[in-house]
Structure formats: structure tokens, C-alpha cells
Structure 1
């Protein structure tokens, strides 16, 4: 009788605690659980995710990285640490470890306003070097930042391919965030399916829930794209649902990485240029200052691109010159803030002596954010000369080459 009482009492305590959990828009536990399940677009091949879960449950050292834009950085709530990536980090430690995850190493690698190609340039510095290894679990979230251009899709595919090439056991989850303007998941899904990657769509469940009035738009969004604290928790819970279901499922056979790219041309093997190397020689010219006002990470309050080339007003008008052996080259540059007291100007781009285009940053209508351009895009690697020069009427104005990334 005593055992029966204890058993019933335990169930009562568990049920009471669970029922006291407040979900977004005060949804019932049943409806909330169904919503989480519905967010899973694909379980993909679960081999790597099962490996990750086995390691974490055994207390082995594991690393988790969340790479994306402002949603991944934690924009929306008052505290960025209430973003989905950080909530997910806390939830996985609580549920799957007995020591609060002392052997879990987490890297929140979100950066506001950045699409997949900039993520590709950042990956080596902001993920593998931060973790000092390739991640055991990588969450990729760029669906509300990427546009419909194929360059974005190529960057997205390269992130998946390079992560798996660097470590074939890296578990990847593709997260399609929600925005009132939609996202680009329809362009990304075929690529993720090609690599048989698990996928979650927040857009699908949020749109459906708002339409059937089970969720109020204001309960999920703080603006047109950034979730509330409760909205971020919904995203984290969707990720946990995928892990919980995968934990129950039988492990698939080890997958093979496709030998051919899904898209006809690819951006595989990208590296960020930090200094001269066997492929690169830089003459900085008048771009020899460091811009300390480039985008900074919420988690460090420091510039995310400390190695940049800044034409500071007053510097010489000597051009920035790059000699490089590459197939692809991405230029990341700064859109100056309208509130900045430094005026930016126009810079001309020449490749192999030929004028290509002008980058006009004179309007100062940004917020110090990054823009990018794929300035070399060839089928095979070759030697190229790249020159960036301030226009004559901008020689006393600013311009920042935030980062450069290339592949061979």
C-alpha cells in the first residue's frame, strides 16, 4: 500500500509540475506537443545525430555550434541569452546530462543581418577556431536572411558540405526560422534533402498557428522577424523534440557524403583571408587602418571582424591590392551607419586591370552591417589581381573591407 501511495504521489507531483508549464499563448500541453512534432520537416539520416546523443549521454566531451543571423544571435528578448540557441543549450544540459553538461562546449555564432555566404566566410574563425575543433552538432539558421539568389543557395550548400567534409560525423540540423515576410526554405529544402539532413520549419507552424488563432502574432514576434522570449523557447523546444524523437528511433546506416554538388557550381572549401599565405599577397595601401566599429557580437561586445582593412578619412589614396590564386572570392564590406560621425564614400573595384563596379557607401543608410559581393566566380583556380581604390571625390572619406574569403 505504501509503495502504491508513493507511486501515485510521484505521478501527481510530475503531472502538476508539467501542467504548470506555461506555453506560448497559453497553449495546452497536448496542443503544444503536437505543434513541436509538426515542426519536424525531416529526420534525415539520423546516424550522426545518434552519435552525438550517445556521446552526450555518456558524459563525453561534445561541442555545439549555432550558426546564423540575428535570430541565432538572440535578438528579440531583452537578454540575448534568452535566444533559442542559448535556451537550447540549457535544455540539452538539463535533460541529457547528470552534471549540467560540464563536458558540453557551446558556441553561439549568430551575427545580425548576415546570410549564408557571409556565414561561409566566418565559419572557420567563428566556429572551428572558437571550439578548437569541428562541432559535434551544428545548427544552421539563415532562412530569414538569405535571398532567392543562387549565390545564397551556393553558400548554404557549401556550409553543409564543408562541415561534413571537415568532420563526417558532424550532426547538422537545418532550422528554418519564421518571419512575417516568409523565408527561403523552399530554395533550401532540396539542398538539405540532397545531403539527407534533419530539418525543422518554424515558419510552417507559426503561420498555421497564427492563421487558426492558436498563437497570437504578438506572442511570437517582437517585430517582423525576431521572436519574443517565449517564441525563442518554442524554437528551442522544437529542436529538443527532434532530439527526443531521434533518441527513440533506430540508428540509420552511416551516410556517404555526395561526391557531386547539388548545384551546378559550388563554393566548397572556403577560407577567410587574414594575412598573406601561399595563395595570397596583400598590399593594403591607404586601407591600412583597423575599423573598430564593424559589427560586434552580443556575447563578447567586441568586433566580429577585428582583422579588416579600413580606409580611414585622411589616409593616403593608395589602392588596396590583392594578388590571389583562387576560383571564388567573396568581398564583405561595411554599410556605414547613418548615426556615424565618420562619412563613407565610393570605392571602385578592378579585377585583372578591368573595372568591375563601384561600391557606394556614401549614403550612410545602414547600421554598420555587413554586405557582400561574390567578385570572382570561376570554374577553376587561377591567379588574379584585385584592386580597390577610393574614387577621387571620396579620397578623404571612409571605406571598410570587412573580410575576404576565397576557395580554390
Structure 2
């Protein structure tokens, strides 16, 4: 079967699922339970019909239902007519690059949830996808872009923007724990790039430990590619973003989860583990921007910045004398600087001096030009103390770059 036919079958299956919502599909129940109980030693039978290939794709995508009690409670809340908010936190895939605001998987799946479980207009949608942002920035954006809307569900999609180093692992687990502490149901969604990069392995560790639902379109695509059912070019027009049909494909996998989750018995009331997988040190982190933080001295800087979703920062004025902009932070543990990163041009290095409780803690230069930069927000940890500390941060341009450009977008912190 060619790709267009495959996608047509998938869309048809998704529409059928919506049409029969609430009909108590026993087949779905047995499939979901048998997947959870299946042995790794079981010989896999290759699909033959279009429908079997579609089901096999869903089975590969559904890594785990986790403890279904959390999602089932939200669904019952929606069915009763109460307000339910579904949020999506991630990078450019979640934002909808290549498919647009109405055609991205996030909007498609929220609409499906509303149609299947809502009672009118009681399901609200929050898209907190932002291009080029990994979980290290996602944990700092979480408060502003997600928690402010009091969601009931939050999808997390950072598998292609994250690396596998410890700081990504810590940030990702911090997002998960922050959501769970606030009784928000996380759903982990795993993506992949054309060159097969995905950070899903450590994310699966976290999902398994916390008994969370996990959907991997990475695993589903690898399966389809390996069996010559699709190619990357069918799914995407570049190296990482699903095209319009690709977003529909991803949405159908999430819709399948919504179709079957009510049929999977919960493990009892959800209780968050007290132990952790990694070191989630940014739990309940926050972010300061220009509307919530006033520098004690502007120096040779002016208010405002130019990065999408970060316009309340500070921009260096190279016509001045390079006097530092100065900030005071009271009773903070970890401190992060968010700045504009570019690939080339007239941007220079930022010179950052940090004083902790009156003692010089660090003085470093940070290059705002990177081969991977494109005018995005970048993050740098500039201080980390185990106890609440009073910090003074002075930022100027590094020696020799006084005539260059620089933008500080925000600061992240923990208390």
C-alpha cells in the first residue's frame, strides 16, 4: 500500500474512533491489556491487511498507559461538563511548524478529546510549543506558559530538542515532578528526526518510574520505515518536523490512546514516588522577565528584546560606555540566564559577573554566536548553591566586543 493510502486508512480509523466514542469497545480493551501483559519473548506476527498494519503502528506507539487513574479522572470530569484544560509543552513540532496552528497534532488531538469527551465548549486548549527550546528551557517556561492556565493534562514533547546529558535529564524529570505535584496528568510524547535522533530512552526511564502514559511516534515510525511502509520524506518535508499529513499521523496515535485508555484498569489512586530517577533540581522553577524584574542599574542597556515569546528582556546599546546592567536576586538557589543566540552577525560575547552573599562566585564570558543558533532563546546556568543565597549579577559586553550586540531575555531561578 502506498503512503497516501496508508494515511487515508489512518485518518479513517481515527474518525471511526470518534464516531463510536463511548461504545465500550471490548476489542480495544483486550488489545490494551494484552499489550501490557505481553512477553518480550513472544514471536511477533507480521501484519497483512491495511487494518493490521494500522493496529501494529498503534501498538508500537503505545509504549505504556501508565496508571490510568489520573487520565480517567480527567475524562470523567470532562464528561460531567466541568472545565478541562489540555496543554502541550514542547518545541517547534508542538508549536506546529510545517502544519500551522490549526493543523498541528496538538490542536487536532485536543479537538478530538473535546469531541469525544466534552459536553460543548468545556475543553480548553493551551499550546506552549516554542521553536528551538529543550526541556532545560521548558522547565523555566512551565510556570508562565502552562501552569498559569491551570491545566488538567499536559503533553510533554522534547525528545528531538533534548540531548542525553544530565542537565537535560534533570530538567525533564523536574517538569514531570512539578506537574505531578500540582495534580496535572503528564503524557510523554516521543519524537524523532530524520537522522534517528531521539532522547526517548532516558525519558522512557522516567515514564516507567512514575507510571505515566507514553506515546512514541518515534517507535511507530521506526517500525514503518523498517518494514518499507513509509519513508521519512512521506512524513516530513525537512529533517525534523512532521508535514501536514505527518501531524495527522501523530494525532491518530494520540487519538488511539484516548480511544482505549478508559478500557485499561487503573493501578489504584496515583501516588507520586518520593524517590527520583535522576536529580530533578529545578522542580517548581520560575522565570523573571522585564515585567517582573527591575534592574538596579540599566547601565548601557535598554528595555525590550526581539525573540518571539521573549520580548520583555534587555538589549545592549553599543553607543554607550559598556556599563553593566545589574540585577539583585534574593533567596535563590539556582540561577539561569536566558539570552539570544544567533548563527552569525554582529553579536558578541556577554561578560557575566556573579556575586553570592557578597563574595565573587563566578566571572565568565558567554558566546552568543553558535553554529546551531538562529535567533533562538538559549539558557546558561550561572549560579547554583544548595541554600538560599543573595546574588548580584552584572552583565556587560566582553572585552573587545563593546561595539557588538547582545540581548538578555530573562532569568530562571529556584528557591
> TM-score w.r.t. structure 2 length?
0.82
Q: Is 1:147 aligned with 2:163?
A: yes
Check conservation: 1:290, 1:306, Cα contact below 8 A: yes
- SS in structure 1 of the partner of residue 302 of structure 2: coil
Q: Is 1:199 aligned with 2:214?
A: yes
1:286, distance to aligned residue in structure 2 (A): 2.2
Structure 2: distance between partners of 1:332 and 1:270: 14
Partner of 2:225: 210
1:61, distance to aligned residue in structure 2 (A): 0.6
Partner of 2:347: 344
Structure 2: distance between partners of 1:204 and 1:387: 46
- SS in structure 1 of the partner of residue 395 of structure 2: strand
- SS in structure 2 of the partner of residue 238 of structure 1: helix
Aligned length: 368
Structure 2: distance between partners of 1:85 and 1:21: 19
- SS in structure 2 of the partner of residue 283 of structure 1: coil
Structure 2: distance between partners of 1:136 and 1:403: 27
Partner of 1:160: 176
1:59, distance to aligned residue in structure 2 (A): 2.2
Q: Is 1:86 aligned with 2:134?
A: no
Structure 2: distance between partners of 1:389 and 1:52: 49
1:53, distance to aligned residue in structure 2 (A): 0.9
Structure 2: distance between partners of 1:362 and 1:180: 25
Alignment of 1:96-115 (within 5 A): 96-99=117-120, 102-115=121-134
Q: CA RMSD in A?
A: 2.5
1:236, distance to aligned residue in structure 2 (A): 1.1
Structure 2: distance between partners of 1:142 and 1:363: 20
Q: Deviations over 1:119-157 (max 9, x none)?
A: 11111111122x2x2x10100000100011111111101
Structure 2: distance between partners of 1:261 and 1:354: 29
Partner of 2:12: 21
The 1:244–1:20 alpha-carbon spacing in structure 2 relative to 1, beyond 3 Å, is closer
- SS in structure 2 of the partner of residue 81 of structure 1: coil
Partner of 1:11: none
- SS in structure 1 of the partner of residue 339 of structure 2: strand
Structure 1: distance between partners of 2:279 and 2:9: 50
1:19, distance to aligned residue in structure 2 (A): 9.3
Check conservation: 1:265, 1:379, Cα contact below 8 A: no
Structure 2: distance between partners of 1:255 and 1:235: 27
Structure 2: distance between partners of 1:260 and 1:283: 43
1:20, distance to aligned residue in structure 2 (A): 8.6
Structure 2: distance between partners of 1:309 and 1:280: 10
Q: Is 1:39 aligned with 2:39?
A: no
